[in-house]
Chain A
Amino acid sequence: MTQLTDTPFTIAGRDFSSRLLVGTGKYKDFTETGAAIAQSGAEIVTFAVRRTNLGQDADAPNLLDVISPRQYTLLPNTAGCYNAKDAVRTCRLARELLDGHNLVKLEVLGDDHTLYPNVVETLKAAETLLADGFDVMVYTSDDPIVARELEAMGCCAIMPLGSLIGSGHGIQNPHNVRLIVEQSSVPVLVDAGIGTASDAAMAMELGCDGVLLNSAIAHARDPLRMANAMKLAVEAGRDAFLAGRMPRRQSADPSSPFAGRING
């Protein structure tokens, strides 16, 4: 069997073999979190930064005990931030939390009903973070013009939504995602909206460099099984993209030859 090769998936100068990035939210417990993430094969894992619960048992397990910074590339997010200032503060806290690690997922949200990106605040935050030495993977709308602007500023990955965060509605505007892929020279990842394996495969078939998802695994009836499905879907979609799909036809084209039929 031929060993198939691919170009490396590179984020901010580091090569990764998995093109699936996963979040750590919404799991039943840390055991399930750890098991699902291991099953997904993901190497880059997102988490959130929140105030410590001061009444809490200080010996309670910590997320980073399960998702070790030695084993995974951690990607702190700015979820829950509605303006550039809060997002920048959150990233600086995350950098301190991770001993100087400067790769972040910037997301500045517009409102808590849609969690749609506020691109004005996102652009402001990106500018400050890039000037402060962060490597910024940026969650944004599927607007190619905004995506181009974020790339020109120096963001290391452009991450348009497929549909609303946590909605599981898949990729609502594949044409825009394709436009972003075609114009970008940094990695493009669909982030948000993936509901099931075919959505992840579709993102990769559109030419995305990767997929970032959380709820689709965490809220599946069997998260471990879905983690495996997502791993395979991203690999399958990537191979399909590299292979180049057959042209669509308006009429049938038999796979078996007409010649030599017994009724000929």
Chain B
Amino acid sequence: MPHPPGCLLFMSTPNESIQLTLNGEPYAMTAGLTAADLVEQLGLGGRRIAVEINEQIVPKSQLAATPLGAGDQIEVVHAIGGG
């Protein structure tokens, strides 16, 4: 959904989009959603992942109660091979 420049300066309504940083990349998301919504949107629901927002861990049990705000720095990590 296109937005005029500067729209992020105003209060978000559920239909507006906010800009996040997700795993180091810019990411646009509908305003008013939670961290759990983001995880679902990424197709990672039920996967073994961990989420950090603005350098704070968000426990799995808290994802649905954690609203996302413009400018949030989000990390979603998983396990990979390593020594």
Which residues on B sit within 8 Å (CB–CB) of A47?
A: 79-82
CB distance from B29 to the nearest CB of A (A): 12
B16 at the interface (CB under 8 A from A): no
Tell me the smallest distance from the CB of B83 to a CB of chain A, in Å: 3
List chain A positions with a Cβ less than 8 A from chain B: 22-27, 33, 46-52, 54, 58, 62-64, 74, 76-77, 79, 89, 92-97, 165-166, 212-215
Q: Is the interface of A mostly helix, strand, loop or mixed?
A: mixed
Q: Does B7 contact A (CB under 8 A)?
A: no
Tell me which residues from 48 to 83 in chain B have a Cβ below 8 Å from any Cβ of chain A.
48-52, 55, 57, 59-60, 75-83
Say yes or no: is B14 at the interface (Cβ < 8 Å to chain A): no
* Chain B interface (Cβ < 8 Å from any Cβ of A): 22-25, 42-44, 47-52, 55, 57, 59-60, 75-83
User: Residue of A at shortest CB range from B49?
Assistant: A52
Instruction: List the B side residues contacting A63 at CB < 8 Å.
Output: 78-81
Chain A residues, Cβ within 8 Å of B55: 89
Instruction: Enumerate chain A residues within 8 angstroms of B78, measured Cβ to Cβ.
Output: 49-50, 52, 62-63, 97
User: Which residues of the partner chain A approach B81 to less than 8 Å between Cβ atoms?
Assistant: 23-27, 33, 47-48, 63
- Interface contact B49-A97, CB-CB below 8 Å: yes
Assess the A26–B83 pair: CB atoms within 8 A: yes
**B residues near A46, Cβ cutoff 8 Å:** 82-83
In-complex Cβ contact of B44 among A25, A52, A79 (8 A) = A52
Closest to B51 in A: A96
What would 8 A/B residue contacts be, using CB atoms closer than 8 Å? Answer: A23-B81, A46-B83, A47-B80, A52-B23, A52-B78, A54-B23, A63-B81, A93-B52
Contact call A24/B82, Cβ cutoff below 8 A? yes
Chain A minimum-CB-distance residue to B23: A51
Contact yes or no, A52 B79, CB < 8 A: no
Do the beta carbons of A58 and B43 come within 8 Å of each other? Answer: yes
Contact partners of A166 in chain B: CB under 8 A: 83
Q: Do residues A52 and B42 form an inter-chain contact, with CB atoms below 8 A?
A: yes
Q: Are B77 and A51 in contact (CB under 8 A)?
A: yes
Q: Which of B25, B43, B50, B82 contacts A96 (CB 8 A)?
A: B50
Q: In angstroms, how far is the closest chain B Cβ from the Cβ of A76?
A: 7
CB distance from A40 to the nearest CB of B (A): 13
By a CB distance below 8 angstroms, the chain B residues around A76 are 79
